[in-house]
């Protein structure tokens, strides 16, 4: 949980109160697609990860296409229009477009990690997940220390992409 708060800890130091509020609002909006992934992960992926049971793999791919891939792509390509429909506030739109685009890519990275995450849990390999969380804290802290003063909220959004990339790479590295 701490690793998912790092961006806000650093952003609160480098952004004005108004920009911090805009950052948190657009960041939460961009990460809302994660809420579409979690029910699928809990309901379907354990069946797939459990010793070769692929009977639900086709269903998962179909659901994933419509609930993760399509919304992420739509959000990426039409972030400005969607932010306008959501907020009706030009300041939110101008501020949040790049954040939402970066986060839509981060959500896709996380989607691919979900397969690995469930397999690691089924194999009782929580240590890999713990190591990846430690790496996230270390690497993202260093990244945010150096880049938050320079690229501000973009650094915060990129930190989410780094988070999900680290867990994906750790999972791939330690996967049997």
Residues 6+ apart with CB under 8 A from 4: 163
Show Cβ contacts of residue 90 under 8 Å, excluding neighbours closer than 6 positions. Answer: 84
**What pLDDT is recorded for position 56?**
64
Q: What's the pLDDT at 78?
A: 97
Q: What is the pLDDT of residue 116?
A: 81
Q: Would you state the pLDDT for residue 53? A: 58
- pLDDT tens, position by position, 93-132: 999 999 999 999 999 998 888 878 877 887 888 898 899 9
Half-sphere exposure of residue 69: CA atoms within 13 angstroms, side-chain side: 8
pLDDT (0 to 100) of residue 57: 64
pTM above 0.75, yes or no: yes
Average pLDDT along the chain, 176 residues, taken 10 residues at a time: 86 93 93 79 66 63 80 95 96 96 93 81 85 94 95 95 94 83
Domain ranges within the chain, ordered by starting residue: 2-174
- CB-count exposure of residue 55 (10 Å: 0-12, 13-18, 19+): exposed
- Rg, the chain, Cα only: 17
Q: Using one digit for the tens of pLDDT, what is the confidence trace for 47-56? A: 666 655 556 6
């Amino acid at each position: 949980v701490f690793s998912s708060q790092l961006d806000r800890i650093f952003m609160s130091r480098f952004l004005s109160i108004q920009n911090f509020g805009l950052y948190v609002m657009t960041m939460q909006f961009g990460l809302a697609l994660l809420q579409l992934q979690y029910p699928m992960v809990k309901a379907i992926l354990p069946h797939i990860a459990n010793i070769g049971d692929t009977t639900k793999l086709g269903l998962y791919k179909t659901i994933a296409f419509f609930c993760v891939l399509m919304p992420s792509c739509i959000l990426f390509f039409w972030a400005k229009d969607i932010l306008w429909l959501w907020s009706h506030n030009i300041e939110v739109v101008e501020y949040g477009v790049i954040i939402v685009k970066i986060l839509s890519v981060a959500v896709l990275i996380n989607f691919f990690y979900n397969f690995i995450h469930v397999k690691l849990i089924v194999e009782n390999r929580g240590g890999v997940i713990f190591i990846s969380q430690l790496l996230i804290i270390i690497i993202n802290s260093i990244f945010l220390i150096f880049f938050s003063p320079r690229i501000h909220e973009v650094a915060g959004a990129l930190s989410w992409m780094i988070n999900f990339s680290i867990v994906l790479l750790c999972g791939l590295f330690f996967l049997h």
